[in-house]
Structure 1
Amino acid sequence: MNTYYDLLQQIKQYGTFIYTGNREYDLALLMEEVRSLKSNGLFSAKEYSQAMAIILKEKNQLN
């Protein structure tokens, strides 16, 4: 998982689709979903770290 698109494809495997039409809101929802997947044991520590890095990179690009 290296890109935002890869992350979206990864969470689709768990039945989650995120699209609000607002990139900032999408990132906030995505962050919550990744935290939920980690706390439920569906994301490993490595996947969680990669996902959060991707989300933070995307947030920085918005600003």
Structure 2
Amino acid sequence: MKTLYDVQQLLKQFNVFVYVGKRLWDIELMALELDHLYEAGVVDKQTFVKAKLVLNREHAVEEEREQAKQN
């Protein structure tokens, strides 16, 4: 699992489709959904950790992008 698309495909396996309209919000909602799937025991720890790392990286990139727009 290396990209946001990979995380989207993982969530899609559980019929979780996320589109809020703003990429940063989409990433945050995906992280919440992933947390719920892990807590429910349907996603193993290794997959969960990999997906969270991808989401954290993408979230940081989006925050930098938004800050660059404001400056």
| Normalised TM-score (structure 1) | 0.94
Q: Which has the larger radius of gyration?
A: 2
Q: Given the two structures, how large is their TM-score scaled by the length of structure 2?
A: 0.84
**Cα distance in 2, alignment partners of residues 57 and 34 from structure 1:** 15
User: How many positions carry a matched residue from both structures?
Assistant: 63
Cα distance, 1:61 vs. partner?
A: 0.7
- Give 5+ residue unaligned stretches, structure 2: 65-71
> Per-residue deviation at 1:28?
1.1
Q: Over residues 3-56 of structure 1, what are the superposed CA-to-partner deviations in whole Å (9 max), with x where a residue is unaligned?
A: 110110111010110011101110110010000010001111101100110001
The aligned runs of 1:1-63 (5 Å cut-off) are: 1-62=1-62, 63=64
Percent identical among aligned pairs is: 29
